[in-house]
């Protein structure tokens, strides 16, 4: 096996860049590794208008080290997001259009307080999205049941796949759908059977490829990969690794990199979100090597995502070198806030060289 890999510069189909000082501290890590990224809208306040998305995009482009990186903007599926705004956002303004609308179940994860409890309540907005060709990006979990009671967080995806997603696909047969951050065998089975290029796709994070819940509660830095959806059993992890590395045209990389301040991440009830962008491509390469699937790495990282979103793959390339290294220190913002990557203290086996 060669000690280097050169591939088209990857595409991140799911990243959180935050705002302000955190954004300025972390964006260059994504820009170094990815040509484009689908930027999530669950900031505070949420991004649920085209004007807000344009403002946010300009903030991203003003961050240090952005270079040729292109942020592709999304809207948050709140009750304030109207069909008229979808129609406007699909056309775009000032060189910015919207590439997707993200659904967060109410109360399920970071800044999800503006989401619908039941996505099918948003039928008029979903209908306009279907008409305009704007993809729906799903955080596919049931958090609250019909009685307003919280479901077991380890069952949230299974409940969504078993009930909500089939009804959604039936009611909106032409709606483009991306099932984000697959973490369970149930999801993988559904996507492998029903996935369709350009219609129903899925993304996979480095976190769910690398960890299971025994590791997540093993102490030390375990809170760094506490995220939603939760990492699950080892058999779920193995199923996610299997589907990600097969070279399927409807499965792609979405890091879900999500930085949080040290004080929140190491609290007694730590926040959801795993910050992985400082080595996201390297982590994917490590897993694909372990699965003897490096031949499929470029398809997963660089080709499938652009195809779904209707953009061209990058003409740039990146090279990875087989080389052990560690990151032992946090990223520190200009306000002296520490942001710890999820792989802190671990030995990684691939290193980005250019």
**Looking at the annotation, which residues are catalytic?**
256
Q: What is the DSSP string of 85-146?
A: HHHHHHH-BTTB-EEEEEE--TTSSTT-TTB-SSGGGGHHHHHHHHHHTPPEEE-----B-T
Beta bridge partners of 100: 74
User: Residue 153, SS3?
Assistant: coil
Q: Tell me how far apart the alpha carbons of residues 196 and 152 are, in angstroms, rounded to a whole number.
A: 30
Residue located via tokens 């306009």: 128
Q: Tell me how far apart the alpha carbons of residues 314 and 48 are, in angstroms, rounded to a whole number.
A: 28
Euclidean distance between the first and final Cα of the chain, in Å? 20
Eight-state DSSP code of residue 151: P
Q: Tell me how far apart the alpha carbons of residues 176 and 277 are, in angstroms, rounded to a whole number.
A: 27
Q: What is the DSSP string of 154-193?
A: TTHHHHIIIIIHHHHHHH-TT--EEE-S--SHHHHHHHHH
């Amino acid at each position: 096996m060669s000690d280097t890999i050169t591939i088209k510069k990857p595409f991140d189909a799911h990243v959180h860049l935050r705002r302000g000082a955190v954004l300025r501290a972390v964006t260059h890590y994504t820009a170094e590794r990815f040509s484009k990224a689908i930027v999530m809208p669950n900031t505070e306040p949420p991004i649920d208008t085209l004007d807000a998305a344009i403002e946010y995009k300009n903030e991203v482009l003003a961050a240090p080290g952005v270079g040729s990186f292109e942020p592709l903007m999304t809207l948050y599926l709140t009750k304030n997001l109207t069909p008229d705004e979808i129609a406007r956002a699909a056309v775009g303004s000032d060189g910015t259009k919207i590439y997707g609308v993200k659904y967060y179940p109410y109360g399920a994860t970071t800044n999800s307080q503006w989401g619908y409890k039941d996505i099918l309540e948003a039928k008029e907005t979903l209908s306009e999205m279907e008409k305009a060709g704007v993809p729906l990006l799903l955080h596919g979990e049931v958090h609250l049941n019909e009685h307003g009671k919280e479901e077991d967080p380890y069952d949230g995806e299974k409940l969504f796949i078993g009930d909500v997603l089939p009804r959604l696909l039936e009611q909106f047969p032409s709606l483009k759908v991306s099932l984000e951050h697959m973490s369970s065998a149930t999801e993988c089975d559904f996507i492998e059977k029903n996935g369709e290029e350009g219609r129903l796709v899925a993304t996979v994070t480095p976190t769910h490829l690398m960890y299971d819940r025994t590791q997540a509660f093993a102490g030390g830095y375990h809170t760094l990969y506490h995220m939603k959806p939760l990492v699950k059993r080892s058999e779920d992890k193995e199923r996610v690794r299997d589907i990600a590395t097969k070279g399927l045209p409807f499965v792609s990389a979405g890091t879900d990199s999500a930085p949080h301040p040290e004080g929140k991440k190491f609290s007694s009830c730590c926040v959801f979100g795993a910050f992985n962008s400082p080595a996201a491509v390297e982590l994917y390469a490590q897993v694909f090597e372990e699965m003897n699937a490096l031949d499929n790495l470029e398809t997963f990282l660089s080709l499938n995502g652009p195809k779904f979103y209707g953009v061209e793959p990058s003409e740039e390339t990146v090279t990875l070198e087989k080389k052990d290294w560690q990151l032992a220190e946090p990223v520190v913002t200009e306000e002296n806030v520490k942001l710890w990557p999820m792989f802190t203290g671990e030995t990684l086996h691939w290193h980005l060289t250019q």
